[in-house]
Amino acid sequence: MTIRLDHDRLTDTMQEQAEFGKTPEGGLHRVALSNADMEVRDWFVDQLQDLDLHIRIDKMGNIFGRRPGTNTSAPPILAGSHLDSQPNGGIFDGALGVVAVLELLRTLDEENIRTAHPIEIVNWTNEEGTRFQPGLQGSGVWTGEFDLEQQYACEDGSGTQFEEELDRIGYKGEEPVEPAEDYESYYELHIEQGPYLEQTQNDVGIVTGVVARSWGEVTFYGQANHAGSTPMHLRADASVSAAEFLLYVRKIVNTINEKTVGTVGSISLSPNSINIIPSTGTVTWDVRDPDDNSIQAAVSDLRAEVRAISRREGTEYDIEETTRTNSVKFTNGCTEKIQQSAADLGYDFLHMLSGGNHDASHLAEVCDTGMVFAVSKDGKSHSPEEHTSWDDCYRAANTLANAIVATATE
Amino acid sequence: MTIRLDHDRLTDTMQEQAEFGKTPEGGLHRVALSNADMEVRDWFVDQLQDLDLHIRIDKMGNIFGRRPGTNTSAPPILAGSHLDSQPNGGIFDGALGVVAVLELLRTLDEENIRTAHPIEIVNWTNEEGTRFQPGLQGSGVWTGEFDLEQQYACEDGSGTQFEEELDRIGYKGEEPVEPAEDYESYYELHIEQGPYLEQTQNDVGIVTGVVARSWGEVTFYGQANHAGSTPMHLRADASVSAAEFLLYVRKIVNTINEKTVGTVGSISLSPNSINIIPSTGTVTWDVRDPDDNSIQAAVSDLRAEVRAISRREGTEYDIEETTRTNSVKFTNGCTEKIQQSAADLGYDFLHMLSGGNHDASHLAEVCDTGMVFAVSKDGKSHSPEEHTSWDDCYRAANTLANAIVATATE
C-alpha cells in the first residue's frame, strides 16, 4: 500500500504554522518558550484535538498525540520534530517534520486506514537551544540523557528560569518525562541544512546516522603592549596564536578524514583596540566526523598544535574541550523502510550522515530510529533565506509517511 | 653651565600629581576633561602661580605659564607634555614631561638663573584621545592641524560634547588657540613606552623623529552556514580570510624594512557563534615605519594580499585605510642640544625614533622641536604596571632641563 499526502494541504499547513512568530523577511522568530512558541503550541494542540487524538503533555512541555492501533499489544510508533525556531530563523527547520506527521494522520483518517500499531505525533521542547542551553532538551530528558531538575533550573540570558517560562506559557504538563512503554520506532523528517541533496540532484535523503562532534575553546595569553614602540621580535601577541590556531583547524580536517569538517565560529581578543598588541585571544572549535576515533585524533592534533603555536609565539594557553558527542547509527530496519518508501514513490534518494544533531540522536538510544532529509536550497538554514520548495517538502513528507505506515501495518 | 634638578623634589612632585585620579593598583585614571583632570589642572595652575609665572589658558584648555627672559626680543622656548591619562593608565605617561619642566623652573628660581629667552611650560589638552577623538587634540588645534569648532563638536561615548565638558571643568579659556608669536623651540620629555632603552642599557633616549603610521580596516564577507553540514570545499568562511590577513600583517613587516612593525589589535566576527561559519570578519591594521615610502609599500602589499586572500576563500571584502600619518623629523639643533646635555651629565644615550605619536609631532610643524625619552620598565605603558624608576625620571628630566637652559641662554 502506497499512500499519498495532499500536496496543497501540506503547503497550506506549513504556511499556517509559519504565521506564529513570522518575521518581516518571511522567516520565523519562535524561540523556545516565547509567546510565539506558546501560540504555535496552542494551534498544534487544536489540530490534534480535531483529529481526536489522545493528547499528553509531559513535565518538559513535550506534546504527544496518539492515534490508536488495531492490535492492542502492538507497541506505538513515534514520529515528529520540533516547532521552536532559531532567533530570526527559517520556517522549515523542525516545523516540516511536525507538519508532515500531522498530514499523515489526516490522510489516514480521510482514507479510513487503520494500522496495527498506534502512531504518535510529537513536538519536542527546545530543540534549538539558543535561549536555554543545551538544545534537544525535551527529547534529552525523555530519553534519560538529561536530568529534569537540571533542565528546569537552567536560565536564559536575562536570568529567567526554564521551569518558570514553561509554566508561564501553560505547557508544564503532568505526564512523567519518559517513555511509559516500549516504542516500536521513532521517525523524524528534517531539512538537510546542507547542500548535498541539491548538489547531487536527489529528492530525499536517507539518514544513516549522525556524526560525532567535539566543541572546545582555547585562550592564548600574550603581553599587551604599544603597537608602535614594541619591536616585532619582543612580542607575545595573543592574536597571532589565535589566528594560527584558526588556520590549523581549517587544515587538519583535510588530514583526518575526507568527511571531517572543522570550524572556528568565534574569536575574541582583549583589549581589542587598534593600537594595542592583544594580551588574550580566545578561539572556539567545532570539529565533526562520522567516526568517533577520527574526532579523538583531531582533538589530539589540536592539543599538540596549541602547544607548538604557543611555544613559537611565547604565549601561554588554556585549552578545554567543552563537549564531546559520539556518533549515532540509525537502525537498519528503519533505514530500509525509508528506502523502500522512497523507491516505491519513484524518488531519487541518497544515503547520508547528518552533520547536525537532531532529536532523533537521543531517540536512537531508546528505540529503532530513522530520519528523512528534505532538500535545503543552497544548503542554507538558521536564517530567513532557509528554503525547501513545496515539491521537495511533499516528497520528503510522502517518504516519511509511507515508511511509518509500512512499519505500523506490519 | 650644567644645572641639576632636585632628585627628591622631582619624586615628590611626581607623587603629588599622581594623587589626582589615583587607582587602587597605583595607576592613574585621569581621562581628559574628567573631574580628576580638572583637579590636576587646578593643582598645576597653583604651582604656576607659586612660581609667579604669566599664566594663559586658551579656548582648548591648553595651559601655559611663562617665565620671562632677559632679552625682550628673544623668542620663547616652549616645553611640556600632558596631564591626562589613559583609562586605568600609569602615573608617568605625560605627567613626567610636565613635572620635569616645573622642576626646571623651580630650580632656575632657586639658583637665580636668568635666561635670555623666555621659558614657557605647557599642559596640552587631551593627548590620549580615549574619551574624545582624536588624540593630541590641544596641540593639534594650537598648531593649526585641527579645526577648533570641529574639536568642540566632538562627543564622547555617552554623547557629551567636548566644548560643554571643557566649560564644565572651568578650562575653556579666553586666549586664541594659536602661537601668538614665533617660538624658538619646543622640548618634550616622555616615557619611551617601549623596551629599547632598557634592553640597550641606556639612561636616556634622544628622539630623532616619529615614525609614519597607517591605520585601516578590512571586512571580509563570506557565507554563514551550519558548521556541521557544510562541506569544507563549499565554504566561504570570513574567519579564515580574517586570520590569513592577520598573519600576513605579521609577515610583511619583516619584508618591508627592519624597523617596520605591524599589529592586528582587533577582530570581530559575525555571528560569532561556535557552530556557525562566520559570515563577516572585520580586522584592523596598524603599520608603522620610519619611512613614508615604506608605509606606502606596506599598504599596497596589504591591498594586493586582501585581493588574493578573498579570491582563495571565495569571500568578498571592503578595505579602508582610515588614517595615514607621515613621519616627523625633529630638528638637528634641538637633538644636538639634548645630546650635549646628556653627554655633559655623563648619561648613556641612544638616538631613536618614537613609535608612538606625541604632542611634539604637531609642534614640529611650527618650530624647532626635540624630545627626550625616559626608560620604560619592560616597555610597559597604558596600564598600572607602567614604571620608570625615580633615578631614570631624574636622568631624563636633567637632560631635558639642560637642553632647555642651553637653548635659552644662547
CA atoms within 13 A on the CB side of B86: 17
Cα gap B304→B319, rounded to integer Å = 11
Residues B73 and B169 in one domain: yes
Which A residues 370-399 touch B at CB under 8 Å?
A: 379-383
Distances from the Cα of A326 to the Cα of A154, A164, A216, B148, angstroms = 24, 32, 15, 65
Cβ–Cβ < 8 Å for B233, A262 = no
What contacts B395, CB < 8 A, 6 or more positions away?
A: B203, B204, B345, B347, B374
Tell me which of A230, A251, A263 to substitute to probe the interface with B (most B C-beta atoms closer than 10 Å): A263
Residues A256 and A186 in one domain: no
pLDDT at B382 exceeding the cut of 90:
no
Answer whether residue A1 is part of any domain.
no
pLDDT of residue A371: 98
Cα gap A337→A184, rounded to integer Å = 13
Q: Residue B318: which domain range?
A: 212-325
Q: List B58's β-bridge partners, or say none.
A: B175
pTM for this structure?
Answer: 0.85
pLDDT of residue A85: 95
Answer whether residue B319 is part of any domain.
yes
pLDDT of residue B383: 86
- Interchain CB contact of A279 with B (< 8 Å): no
**In this structure, what CATH number is given to the domain that contains residue A246?**
3.30.70.360
Residues A134 and A12 in one domain: yes
Residues B340 and B303 in one domain: no
Cα gap A267→B270, rounded to integer Å = 10
Tell me phi and psi for residue A199, to 5 degrees. Answer: -65, -35
Tell me phi and psi for residue B151, to 5 degrees. Answer: -70, -40
Chain B: closest CA distance from residue A163 (Å): 26
- Residue ending a domain, among A300, A325, A350, is A325
Q: Which of A32-36, A78-82, B130-134 has the lowest mean pLDDT?
A: B130-134
Interval B228-268: pLDDT, tens: 988 899 899 999 999 999 999 999 888 887 889 999 999 99
Contact assignment for B224 to A383 by CB distance below 8 Å: yes
pLDDT of residue A225: 86
Residues A287 and A363 in one domain: no
Amino acid letter, A169: I
Answer whether residue A402 is part of any domain.
yes
Q: Which of A154-163, A253-262, B191-200 has the lowest mean pLDDT?
A: A253-262
Span A342-354, mean pLDDT?
A: 97
Residues A285 and A348 in one domain: no
Query: In terms of pLDDT, which residue wins out, B19 or B231?
Result: B19
pLDDT of residue B135: 92
Write the ipTM.
0.85
Tell me phi and psi for residue B354, to 5 degrees. Answer: -90, 130
Interval A50-89: pLDDT, tens: 999 999 999 999 999 999 999 999 999 999 999 999 988 9
Cα gap A292→B102, rounded to integer Å = 71
Chain B: closest CA distance from residue A107 (Å): 33
Cα gap A136→A42, rounded to integer Å = 21
Residues in chain A: 410
Cα gap B142→B361, rounded to integer Å = 12
**In this structure, what CATH number is given to the domain that contains residue B193?**
3.40.630.10
Helix (H) or strand (E) holding B397: helix B390-408
Query: In terms of pLDDT, which residue wins out, A119 or A356?
Result: A119
Answer whether residue B1 is part of any domain.
no
Three-state SS at B232: helix
Answer whether residue A2 is part of any domain.
no
pLDDT of residue A122: 98
Answer whether residue A37 is part of any domain.
yes
Contacts of A220 in chain B (CB under 8 A): none
Three-state SS at B53: coil
pLDDT at A29 exceeding the cut of 90:
yes
Interval A297-314: pLDDT, tens: 999 999 999 999 999 999
Distances from the Cα of A125 to the Cα of A172, A175, A366, A371, angstroms = 11, 14, 18, 19
Interval A140-188: pLDDT, tens: 999 999 999 999 999 998 899 999 999 999 999 999 999 999 999 999 9
Which B residues 108-167 touch A at CB under 8 Å?
A: none
Span B204-208, mean pLDDT?
A: 98
Q: Give the closest of B232, B253, B284 to A254, CB-based.
A: B232
- Residue ending a domain, among B285, B304, B325, is B325
Residues B222 and B313 in one domain: yes
- Interchain CB contact of A227 with B (< 8 Å): yes
Answer whether residue A159 is part of any domain.
yes
Cα gap B48→B41, rounded to integer Å = 10
Burial (0-12, 13-18, 19+ Cβ within 10 Å), A374: buried
Cβ–Cβ < 8 Å for B330, B209 = yes
What contacts A118, CB < 8 A, 6 or more positions away?
A: A66, A67, A68, A69, A74, A76, A77, A408
Answer whether residue A111 is part of any domain.
yes
Angle at A360 between CA A356 and CA A364, to 5 degrees: 120
Amino acid letter, B298: A
What confidence tier does B176 reach under pLDDT thresholds 50, 70, 90?
very high
pLDDT of residue B92: 98
Interval B268-306: pLDDT, tens: 999 898 988 999 999 999 999 999 999 999 999 999 999
What contacts A213, CB < 8 A, 6 or more positions away?
A: A286, A287, A288, A295, A323, A324, A325, A357, B228
- Interchain CB contact of A229 with B (< 8 Å): yes
Residues A404 and A257 in one domain: no
Annotate chain A with three-state secondary structure: CCCCCCHHHHHHHHHHHCCCCECCCCCECCCCCCHHHHHHHHHHHHHHHHCCCEEEEECCCCEEEEECCCCCCCCCEEEEECCCCCCCECCCCCHHHHHHHHHHHHHHHHCCCCCCCCEEEEECCCCCCCCCCCCCHHHHHHCCCCCHHHHHHCECCCCCEHHHHHHHCCCCCCECCCCCCCCCEEEEEEECCCCHHHHCCCCEEEEEEECEEEEEEEEEECCCEECCCCCHHHCCCHHHHHHHHHHHHHHHHHHHCCCCEEECCCEEEECCCCCEECCEEEEEEEEEECCHHHHHHHHHHHHHHHHHHHHHHCCEEEEEEEEEECCEECCHHHHHHHHHHHHHHCCCEEEEEECCCCHHHHHCCCCEEEEEEECCHHHCCCCCCCCCCHHHHHHHHHHHHHHHHHHHCC
Angle at B355 between CA A311 and CA B323, to 5 degrees: 105
Nearest to A317 by CA among A249, A237, A219, A216: A219
Whose grid coordinates read 516547532? A83
The per-residue pLDDT of chain B, averaged, comes to: 96
Contact assignment for A286 to B265 by CB distance below 8 Å: no
pLDDT of residue B386: 93
Tell me which of A217, A223, A274, A277 to substitute to probe the interface with B (most B C-beta atoms closer than 10 Å): A274
Span A352-372, mean pLDDT?
A: 96
Residues B259 and B374 in one domain: no
Based on the structure, what is the number of domains in chain B?
Answer: 2
Residues in chain B: 410
Contact assignment for B211 to A228 by CB distance below 8 Å: yes
Contact assignment for B265 to A288 by CB distance below 8 Å: no
Residues A60 and A195 in one domain: yes
Query: In terms of pLDDT, which residue wins out, A74 or A252?
Result: A74
Residues A187 and A317 in one domain: no
- Residue ending a domain, among B325, B360, B383, is B325
Cβ–Cβ < 8 Å for A29, A23 = yes
Contact assignment for B243 to A246 by CB distance below 8 Å: yes
Residues A179 and A238 in one domain: no
